[in-house]
Amino acid sequence: MTQQLPRRADAWAGSVEGVVVSFGPSKAKSWFAHSRDDCLWLDRLELRKDDGEIIFCNLDQYSRIDVLERADDS
């Protein structure tokens, strides 16, 4: 998974690899949401790295997900 952060002259990119644990919308508390329960719904990806670390990524228009290997191919 690669995320880019646009900057004035270029973009910063960061990548992480892991096994997809879950994917989908989830609630996020926000003081500026002004909606029911003061929550926003964000698209999130949960990954488990090779060392067991769990990472949650918020997905947006600058996110790119590449399938490196499918579970049924291994």
Residue 72 lies in a domain: no
pLDDT range class, residue 69, cuts 50, 70, 90: confident
- The whole domain housing 45 covers 2-67
**Which residues face 48 on adjacent strands?**
19, 54
Question: What pLDDT is stored for residue 44 in this prediction?
Answer: 94
For the whole model, what pTM was predicted? 0.73
* Rounded (10°) CA dihedral 28, 15, 52, 42: 10
In a domain, 12, yes or no: yes
Assigned domain for 10 exists: yes
- The structural domain count of the chain equals 1
In a domain, residue 25? The reply is yes
- 74 domain-assigned: no
Assigned token pair, 74: 């291994």
Model pLDDT, residue 35: 65
